[in-house]
Structure 1
């Protein structure tokens, strides 16, 4: 079992706050200050979790250049007070950056059907017509 360092714990906390600010920034009609703060916390949390060198290596890989360009461009648009356009561009960049992760995440979610209390909900929802 891998040990979790104090920096990684701080990073998880920063990511939680980032999710909170991004969610409420969208709920409050794309409030640019909340979205900008959420973006900054997301990048800081990612840096704390995987480290500065690995974060830079992740964003500046040759095959991820387009995704990094759109994601960081969207963050900069949000910081320049264009929140709706920035979030659309940032979402596209996020999809391009993390598209190799989505099949693994989907497999994990679908494997949750094997958990006893969840399989009861899934089997009962499928039998209802």
Structure 2
């Protein structure tokens, strides 16, 4: 089993707080300050969790350039106080960046908990391939 360093633990905590502030910012009718704070905490936590080199390699791969552009563009729109448009652009970039992780995450959820709705979705996705 892999050991987690103190810096990685701090990264996990920062990512958790970042996601909390993002969710709370959306629930409070797209509060710009909470969304901006959540984005900054999430990116800082991701950097501490994976390391600066691996983070930059992930975001600046040639095939992920469009996702990076939309994700960071959405973050900058939020920082410029356009929260609704920024969240839409950022969400699109997030999907483009992390779409390769979605099947793995779904398989992990299905193996951890037997949820009938997710099993139906997984069956539909394997039939179309």
Shorter-chain TM-score range: 0.7 to 0.9
Return the TM-score normalized by structure 2.
Answer: 0.87
Quick check: 1:10 aligned with 2:42? Answer: no
Cα displacement (A) at 1:56: 0.5
Q: After superposition, give the CA deviation of every residue in 1:24-79 in whole Å (9 maximum; x if it has no partner).
A: 10000000000000000010000000000110110000000000000000000000
The aligned counterpart of 1:126 is: none
Aligned counterparts, 1:77-96, within 5 A:
77-96=77-96
The size of the alignment, in residue pairs, is: 116
Larger radius of gyration: 1
Return the TM-score normalized by structure 1.
Answer: 0.87
Aligned counterparts, 1:53-92, within 5 A:
53-92=53-92
Structure 2 stretches of 5 or more lacking a match?
117-129
Measured in 1, the distance between the counterparts of 2:88 and 2:48 equals 26
The aligned counterpart of 2:126 is: none
Question: Could you say what secondary structure the match of 1:11 adopts?
Answer: helix
Question: Could you say what secondary structure the match of 1:19 adopts?
Answer: helix
Structure 1 stretches of 5 or more lacking a match?
114-118, 123-129
Runs of 4+ in 1 over 2 A off after TM superposition: none
Cα displacement (A) at 1:110: 1.2
Measured in 2, the distance between the counterparts of 1:61 and 1:106 equals 24
Aligned counterparts, 1:45-60, within 5 A:
45-60=45-60
Question: Could you say what secondary structure the match of 1:2 adopts?
Answer: coil
